[in-house]
Amino acid sequence: MKVADKVTSVGRGEYKFSKLPQHGNIIAEYIWIGGRGLDIRSKSRTLEIPKVNSLDDLPDWNYDGSSTFQADGHDSEILLRPRVFFPDPFRLGNNVLVLCDTWKPDGSPTNTNFRTDCLKVMTSVADEEPWFGFEQEYVLYRNDCYPHRPLGFPDGGYPAPQGPYYCSVGGGCAFGRQIMEAHYRCCLYSGIKISGTNSEVFPGQWEFQIGPLTGIDLGDHVWMARYLLLRVAEHFGTSVNWECKPVIGEWNGSGCHANFSTKSTRAEGGMDVIHRYIEKLREKHSYCIDGYGKDNAKRLSGTCETSNINTFSFGVADRGASIRIPRATASSGRGYLEDRRPASNSDPYVVSALLADVAILDGAG
């Protein structure tokens, strides 16, 4: 593995130059979701101001949508609208990362701008104060071989079967810890609400948890955490695989469990409300599955700690169910539910909007 070499050579360069004075300018990295739905894109611009105080300091911008599967070459300009900004952990200083959504020339949202609909739903349900906590799983891949392989896979073969890798320590079990660690620090630096992280069942697989956050903030923070992970992985000479079943067979896939509560589920008598939500989620099972990620049938097989994609089920502390009620919620009679169906490659704007819409608004939003 040449990963360690890359750490030092890339790392030294970036941090040496990051100390050079910027003479009153800041760099804003505009970030958006491309036409494939998981292809995060970004580009940089200089702003002749010492500091960004509010969104008003960040002008709208545009890009060539014909290069992101979002426009044809004749009318190619897609509009970028800044929605939220964070301190930049790579450039440091007053430089910022700017999460944008994307708009077509006719004023309608692009095919992958799900933030717009999510915001509408979150505005309608604001009185219920929905909280979301998402568990983003992913697999780190090495780039120094072809085809690219999970970080724990030896040349030309397979690692030992699953068992030792979940929450593991030690060489031969935990692969890519320095990447997880750097990503964790970047999230905290930028103000991303990361609540924890752990290594997962598949070798080279990790998870970070975002939340609990209210409404649209969940989607914004998950997307920014994904962006930061891509940047960190790039820095270490590796890449991130977001597919929900990267290796077929007796190997766990990657999910993005969605933990969800409202003012009513968190209050006394919340358990009754949780059961009402579960019945509505049962009715809309396939409607939700449609928005819960690509290739999810490969992952939701009913084995490897998943439910079957064709059946809806729930249970207390049951990791083979569609919906798990955490034991602490069951025993205190209030709290949250965990929807285990969303895949690692789902869009958190879509998943959080579906949950809020189906559970709170009866699917009317």
* Interface ranges with ligand ADP (CB under 6 A): 131-133, 135, 195, 209, 211-212, 257, 259-261, 266, 335-336, 338
CA proximity to 135, closest of 338, 356, 350: 338
Structure tokens at 76: 């190619």
Residue 211 touches which member of ligand ADP, Mn ion, none, C-beta under 5-8 Å by kind = ligand ADP
CA proximity to 235, closest of 16, 30, 8: 8
Q: How far is the CB of 329 from ligand ADP (least distance, A)?
A: 8
CA–CA separation, 239 vs 166, rounded Å?
20
Q: Please, which residue, 89 or 211, has the CB nearer to ligand ADP? A: 211
Residue 133 touches which member of Mn ion, ligand ADP, none, C-beta under 5-8 Å by kind = ligand ADP
Residue 365 touches which member of Mn ion, ligand ADP, none, C-beta under 5-8 Å by kind = none
DSSP-assigned beta bridge partners for residue 257 = 135
Q: Please, which residue, 70 or 365, has the CB nearer to Mn ion? A: 70
Q: Please, which residue, 135 or 217, has the CB nearer to Mn ion? A: 135
Q: How far is the CB of 306 from Mn ion (least distance, A)?
A: 11
Q: Please, which residue, 78 or 256, has the CB nearer to ligand ADP? A: 256
Residue 131 touches which member of Mn ion, ligand ADP, none, C-beta under 5-8 Å by kind = ligand ADP
Q: Please, which residue, 70 or 209, has the CB nearer to ligand ADP? A: 209
CA–CA separation, 148 vs 155, rounded Å?
10
Burial status of residue 277 (CB atoms within 10 A of its CB: 0-12, 13-18, 19 or more): buried
Q: How far is the CB of 24 from Mn ion (least distance, A)?
A: 26
Instruction: Say if residues 134 and 259 touch (Cβ distance below 8 Å).
Output: yes
Burial 77-108 (b: 16+ CB within 10 A, else e): ebbbbbbbbbbbbbbeebbbbbbbbbbbeeee
Binding interface with Mn ion (CB under 5 A): 135, 207, 257
Q: How far is the CB of 258 from ligand ADP (least distance, A)?
A: 9
